[in-house]
Amino acid sequence: MEAWHAACVADSPCPRMVHAHLHRATFHRRLGAGLWVLLLMVSAPLARAFDTVVLDAGHGDFDRGAAIGYVYEKHLALDTARRVQQLLEKAGLNVVMTRSRDVFVPLPGRASAGNKHGNAIFVSIHYNYSRGGGGAGAESYYYHSKGYALAAYIQAYLVQRTGMSNRGVKHASFHVIRETTRNPAVLIECGFVSNSTERARMMTGDFRNRIAEGIAQGIVSYKKSN
């Protein structure tokens, strides 16, 4: 678990659950993205029917999130969420944004938005940080089991579209996905702001487009699995 998000985490899963989830995440990291997508098509649980996507751009206003110099996670997350919004709306889905500008939304308010709509999914978009300056790649988190397949679809397409290292699908107790109980909920980490190579890429609109396309493709493919 990255230290930056430690304040959002509580109620760690039991050791047996941790072992099972880590085993599954390791298995997925070893699969090529293309093979992983094919495996999902034949083995992932069917998606619940939904027509609304609640997009949650992490942080905002005084909460910059991960930051190096003038590169702030709050800006990257919002820009990426807006790009995902446009792609999903073109695909015919209704999109609700927890924030559409640089404002701070408390964690309970974000989870409340995730629970407000029936026939919906909740996707929280973030960028990662490692205090040592290392770390690389994308990873996707879920808390409730009904969010696992959604996280797996998004992770597969995100890695496939961007070429980022596959850090896998992981179980974690982030507030927004733990407290979103009505609908499948996931939190996506779209690369490391602290990694100079990834930071240079994510600062370009082209790469953020690729990230958005991967997330959107994962959501649409998950929906089609119903």
N-terminal to C-terminal alpha carbon distance within the chain: 32
What are the backbone dihedrals phi and psi of residue 185, each rounded to the nearest 5 degrees, phi first? -135, 135
Catalytic residue IDs: 189
Helix 73-90 and helix 205-224, axial crossing angle in degrees, nearest 10: 50
H-helix segments, the chain: 15-30, 33-43, 73-90, 107-116, 148-162, 175-178, 196-202, 205-224
- At 53 the three-state DSSP class reads strand
- At 32 the three-state DSSP class reads coil
> Is 94 buried (19+), middle (13-18) or exposed (0-12) by CB count in 10 A?
middle
